[in-house]
A and B are shown apart, each in its own frame.
Chain A
Amino acid sequence: MTRQFEVIQRDGAARLGRLRWADRELSTPCVLESKDELELLEEMTEGNAELDVEVIKDPEDVHGTNVNADIIILAGALRFEDDPRGLSRALIKIKESTNPDAALYAPTLATPQNISMLIYAGVDIVDSVLINVKAREGYLLYTDGEERFDEIPHPLCLCDVCRNIDFGDGSFEQKTAIASEHNRGALLAEVHRVRAHVRKGTLRELVEARCRTTPTLTAFLRLLDEEYNYFERRSPIVRTATLLACSQESLDRAEIRRFSERVIERLHKREGILLLLPCSARKPYSRSRSHRIILARLYKLRPFLNEAIITSPIGVVPRSLEVMYPASNYDIPVTGRWTCDERERVIEQLARYIEVNAFDSIIAHVDGPYKAICDDVAVTLGVDMIHPSDSENILSSHSLQCLEEIVWDLIGKHSPVRRDLRFDYLRDLADYQFDKDASAALFSRVPKIRGVFPRYYASDRGRRIVTLVDRYGTLALTIEGAKRYIDRHIGHYCVWIDDFEPKGTIFAVGVLRADPIIRPFDEVIVLNDNTIAVGRALMSGWEMETSNRGAAVAVRHVEAR
């Protein structure tokens, strides 16, 4: 089957794509504007057309992945205009049971206000029907809502249409024509904004802002956030843009929950002394003034400590993962006041972290709200936490002196093993990125580590194994590293391709099988009978396997097997 829709870029479930249609090429997300286009698409639903267009009348009735089309239409999408639960269910049901390289069309539903959220949820095609209905009902539409044009004393916006028109004159028909034009401009401008955000990978930040304008859309986002798997399966493991956690919903982002879960589930068990520190505005934390002061004081003692940072919204960040997204790259409004939700999440995660590890002693060198959180956790778990600062500023010389003394004491008491801190980063990142015990496979013995923080690279017997890519905080494998990994983790993070020599970009059509756990931006190992290669995933593993179009892996090194 010839696929006519190709995804070019992804941001979670949102996508930029290219739809070849008749002798045209449309860039999605797109707005169908003319009656011709709407009719053409409708005719194609009858079959025997250039595009394979599937109409889904009842999303609850879609079975398996037997739908394989170029365009999928959610019939009657407008019935969900005021039903966010129905809409999120319908969209996710359809997306999860149809081929991923189909463009999803939600007819007659888009407005400037909801379009960003529709695209965020996975819609690729919309139309201008509803904005024209609203114009004829007397509404000018904006991204923040609507306004009846007979109630506006003078143009409320400075778009080309409104700026030159006095709404006071003319018949109702003339006014609706102007309103249609305005609404069209508003919708197209917003789609343009969305495209820009998808390119940067920041659509989530936009929808958290847009959803504020109405309870229905806020509910829609919260309901979508309950679909963790849907978004996690589509979320890249890293991004270069800063995660802005400005709202309550930020706490429920898939990336944050995934980070927390991997910290608990993937990292190896730690023992000895845990030192808890507060987060800092500057990232990675160890570059911040506060951390530099504390770490300088503990300079010689650090190899005996396990450090972890308490923060909202992520919860707990082991020092070794401070270079990994989202810990490496987020920003929150700092007021000193924590919401109950924030507190609760952090308490929960800190308690889990302490529970899954086996620390002998816990030092909480924190103050203010952080201290209250630690106290809560200590009570809940029935563990002791030592507070060297004792409600003083943690950077005061007295606090620091106490901290140092306590650490000396505990080291004397527990005599913990001395570790190489640079190895800590590589080991934990390996486990975080390639799953539990990956580090044991990659580093069967302590490797030689070189490089300046955080650009470490490790080799063994003169052969490079991994490099920490500081831009992303991820480990890049060499062929040697890949071989060591797959020896012990058969099939994990692997992409099996057809019998060709991988060069540059591997397209989904050439992928035979792929580990479903692979996410965009993951480091992957590419295999066929003759070659082994390493590279970066450009789409999720399950998507590589079921798509026929689009770039799947960017290959870095290739070697004969």
Chain B
Amino acid sequence: MKKEGIHAGSSLVRADKNAHVRKGAPSIRPHAWTGLDLLNGRAVPSLTIVLRTKGCYWARRDGCTMCGYINDADQNASGPLVYEEFLGALSRYGEEFKIIKVFTSGSFLDEDELPTDVRDAILYDLKDVPKTIIESRPEFVTFETCEEIARINRNIEVAIGLETSNDYIRKNLINKGFTFRDFINASEAARSSNFSIKAYLLLKPPFLTEAEALRDAVQSVRDAAKYANIISLNLCNVQKGTLVEALWKKRLYRPPWLWTAVEVLKQAAENATIICDPVAGGTRRGPHNCGTCDRKIAEEIRRFSLSQDLASFKVTCTDKVLWDFVLEFEEFSYGVPLVP
């Protein structure tokens, strides 16, 4: 970690601390889509449902520098309404999925965000699905809670936004507010109920150079692999109303190169089962390369996620020399991405 360059703690950051005040009304409810996901090494159809709760308590209180999901929350959400929406989504898509992901824009296990009766009802409804994935911050993944929900549904995977194994980066650059130790505790609690654990890692938090981001992600995969069954590499994109967006607008941030994501997967794949969905890949706000190779590489990353086969990566492009140079020299700009 460089101590110089533009950094968390500079007035620039403080000035934008309140950048993620939510605006605008929610649109479609709830948000749901289908896709393909890994189950026991095979690609199977999956359904994702994002419930509109009142949102992540951390985002409401403080918030992470890259997260704009609070924009999708609904201040007036009530338990019965959320459950009704869940049933609506289920009936819309049917139940023929091997994997169903039920997310909120916060923590599924936070009783304040999602009342326990609604939580239990949802998990009960899904008890015969081979795998139900829920998301939560680690402070809610306790032995007690895990035991409670294990009595209702045994096929749960708990996904936790660890982001990085580096406490300095998570605390100062992401502002996540928990430690790697907290994650380990949550992992142990979930595993004691035979749940599987997924760790989300963030590729390229703000204030890191491309090379630092690469090193951090590779190290984080290695560290987190011991406590997670599967790792999901999230390529940082620029979400509305976030500090990352404010930095991006000042040319102080760019999302990761897709080459960097490929490199992380190549270097870390032997350590873990690792999946990656390059959301917004190839756009200015999403992970991108030079523009000509982006679509093909994003596709290769998705293919790799389902096969875990490094031979998925075949595409090459002239911008790789530029990416190599960026890795080597970006630190000398003292805080600005060399290529926007």
Contact = CB atoms under 8 A, between A and B. Distances in A.
A133 interface: yes
A172 interface: yes
Given A42-B4, A57-B7, A79 B336 contact: yes
Interface in B292-340: 318-319, 321-322, 325-326, 328-329, 331-336, 338-339
A510 to B, nearest CB: 35
Contacts of A46: 3-4
Nearest to A46: B3
Contacts of B318: 138, 172
Nearest to B339: A133
B250 interface: yes
A266 to B, nearest CB: 42
Interface string A108-131: 100000000000000000010110
A280 interface: no
Interface stretch (A70-78, A153-161, A485-493): A70-78
A133 B325 contact: yes
Contacts of B11: 58, 60-61
A76 B336 contact: yes
Contact of A107 (B250, B328, B333): B333
Contacts of A172: 318, 321
Nearest to A180: B325
A409 interface: no
Interface string B263-285: 00000000000000000000000
A55 B318 CA distance: 34
Interface of A: 35, 38, 42, 45-46, 55, 57-58, 60-61, 73, 75-79, 81, 83, 107-108, 127, 129-130, 132-133, 136-138, 172-173, 176
Contacts of A73: 334
A27 to B, nearest CB: 21
- Nearest first, the 3 closest Cβ-Cβ pairs linking A and B are A75-B334, A76-B335, A136-B322
B12 to A, nearest CB: 6
A75 B6 contact: yes
Given A42-B4, A58-B11, A107 B334 contact: yes
B12 A58 contact: yes
22 contacts: A42-B331, A46-B4, A55-B4, A57-B12, A57-B334, A73-B334, A75-B5, A76-B5, A76-B6, A77-B333, A77-B334, A78-B333, A79-B252, A79-B335, A107-B334, A108-B333, A108-B336, A129-B332, A129-B333, A130-B338, A132-B329, A133-B339
B10 interface: yes
A45 B4 contact: yes
Contacts of A81: 251
Contacts of A38: 329, 332
A79 B247 CA distance: 10
Interface size class of B (residues with CB under 8 A): 20 to 34
Contacts of B329: 35, 38, 108, 129, 132-133
Nearest to B2: A42
B252 A76 contact: yes
A83 B325 CA distance: 24
| Majority SS at the chain B contact face | loop
Interface of B: 3-7, 10-12, 250-252, 318-319, 321-322, 325-326, 328-329, 331-336, 338-339
A186 B252 CA distance: 28
Nearest to A81: B251
Given A61-B10, A78-B333, 8 more contacts: A45-B4, A78-B336, A79-B252, A81-B251, A107-B334, A108-B332, A129-B332, A176-B321
A317 B339 CA distance: 51
A130 B336 CA distance: 12
A76 B332 contact: no
A231 B143 CA distance: 69
Nearest to A105: B334
Nearest to B324: A136
B3 A173 contact: no
A132 B338 CA distance: 10
A79 B332 contact: no
A63 to B, nearest CB: 12
B322 A133 contact: yes
Contacts of B326: 133
B294 to A, nearest CB: 15
Contacts of A108: 329, 332-333, 336, 338
B271 to A, nearest CB: 30
Given A58-B10, A75-B6, A79-B250, A136 B325 contact: yes
A168 to B, nearest CB: 16
Given A173-B321, A176-B321, A75 B335 contact: yes
Contacts of B3: 46
A133 B338 contact: yes
A46 B2 CA distance: 10
Given A42-B332, A107-B333, A132-B329, A57 B321 contact: no
Nearest to B9: A57
Given A57-B6, A61-B11, A75-B4, A107 B252 contact: no
Contacts of B332: 38, 42, 107-108, 127, 129
Nearest to A73: B334
Instruction: Give the interface centre of B6, B12, B318 by most chain A CB atoms within 10 Å.
Output: B318
Nearest to B251: A79
Instruction: Give the interface centre of B11, B329, B331, B334 by most chain A CB atoms within 10 Å.
Output: B334
Contacts of A133: 322, 325-326, 329, 338-339
Given A108-B332, A132-B325, A137-B322, A57 B338 contact: no
Nearest to B318: A172
Contacts of B7: 57
A3 B329 CA distance: 29
A2 to B, nearest CB: 23
A129 B331 CA distance: 11
